[in-house]
Amino acid sequence: MDDTVSENAKKYVGDSVKKDEGGLWETVKVIIQALLIAVLVRTILFQPFNIPSGSLIPTLLIGDYLFVSKYSYGYSKYSIPFGPPLFNGRIFGSQPKRGDIVVFKLPKDNSTDYIKRVIGLPGDKIQVIGGLLHINGKPVQRERVEDYKTTDLYGRTVSVPMYKETFPEGTSHFVIERDGDRGYWDNTEVYTVKPDHFFMMGDNRDNSTDSRDDANVGEVPFENLVGRAEIIFFSIDENSSLWRPWEWPTHIRWDRMFERIR
């Protein structure tokens, strides 16, 4: 009798251990599968990105969180997290259009994420004269609109000139000139965009380190493009924090949620 009870107890304990081990292994498999799916989605489809600076004001604001489509321009080694040197160039490559807002790896170090607007395509001649953008020797159409409220170097709220800029292809966007048309980069040399490179600029023309600055950014190789900015999925005031959710109701920019990026 005692031996029978002992054997049954051992069998029960053994079955429980096997069930626990099986349940643990199933949990581990689910976690691994979820991680693989997340890596696949981030590599092939979309990557989240947040705006850390004001270089694209008024189009994108500090505190905007957006999705970048990885498939828009094909794939390079920079499409893969950490940029392993698996191959050179791009596969399934598709050239960006003028006016696209693009996330790319900074050519200076090939690791820092930057986001700017495509201004010049391979072979284009780009120049800024008196604050007015010129493409291939012709001034880009620029229409003055209402002033835009932003902050100056001292954090004070100021009204600055805003313009509607229209590219030769017909696409439009807004730019601001914080320092008027007398900023540091409002008069430049002529830049001739190299083959397989792109000329990038921010919409906040007097507060953007971009392709006008050869020493720090310069022209961007096609290989360095990560993807095209598509949609804002979350936006919160720059003085708030994701880690203080009790502030969200008053600091979230509800009107920017799920806004398409142009």
What is the rounded distance in angstroms from the CA atom of residue 142 to the CA atom of residue 219? 24
- Residue 131 — φ and ψ, nearest 5°? 85, -10
Is 116 annotated as catalytic?
yes
| Backbone dihedral angles phi then psi of residue 192, each to the nearest 5 degrees | -100, 115
Share of the chain above pLDDT 70, in %: 85
Residue from 55, 76, 79, 235 carrying the catalytic annotation? 55
Map tokens 């807004």 to a residue.
174
Q: Is residue 249 classed as helix, strand or coil in its secondary structure?
A: helix
DSSP state of 246: G
- Among 151, 125, 150, which residue's Cα sits nearest to residue 139? 125
Q: Cis link prior to 107 (omega < 30° from 0)? A: no
Helix, strand and coil in the chain, % to nearest 5: 25, 35, 45
**Rounded to an integer, what distance in angstroms lies between the CA atom of residue 166 and that of residue 163?**
10
User: Above 60 in pLDDT, residue 60?
Assistant: yes
Q: Taking the model in full, what pTM does it have?
A: 0.82
Using a 10 angstrom Cβ sphere, with 0-12 exposed, 13-18 middle and 19 or more buried, the burial of residue 163 is buried
pLDDT at 13 over 50: no
pLDDT digits (tens, 9 = 90+) for 129-179: 999 999 999 999 999 999 999 877 777 889 999 999 999 999 999 999 999
> How far from the centroid of its chain's Cα atoms is residue 161's Cα?
25
Selected catalytic residue, list 79, 105, 116, 211: 116
The number of beta carbons lying within 10 Å of the beta carbon of residue 77 is: 18
Q: Kind of pairing, strands 125-129 and 132-135?
A: antiparallel
Instruction: Find tokens 């259009």 and name the residue.
Output: 97
Structure tokens of 114? 């930057």
The band of 33, judged by pLDDT with boundaries at 50, 70 and 90, is low
144 and 125 in contact (C-beta within 8 Å)? no
Size (the chain), residues? 262
72 is catalytic: no
| DSSP 8-state secondary structure symbol assigned to residue 78 | G
Q: How far apart are CA 225 and CA 217, in angstroms?
A: 13
**74-119 pLDDT, tens per residue?**
999 988 777 777 778 888 889 999 999 999 999 999 999 999 999 9
| Through-space distance between the first and last CA atoms of the chain, rounded to whole angstroms | 81
For tokens 């499409």, name the residue. Answer: 79
pLDDT at 5: 46
> Per-residue pLDDT tens for 167-214?
999 999 999 999 999 999 999 999 999 999 999 999 999 999 999 999
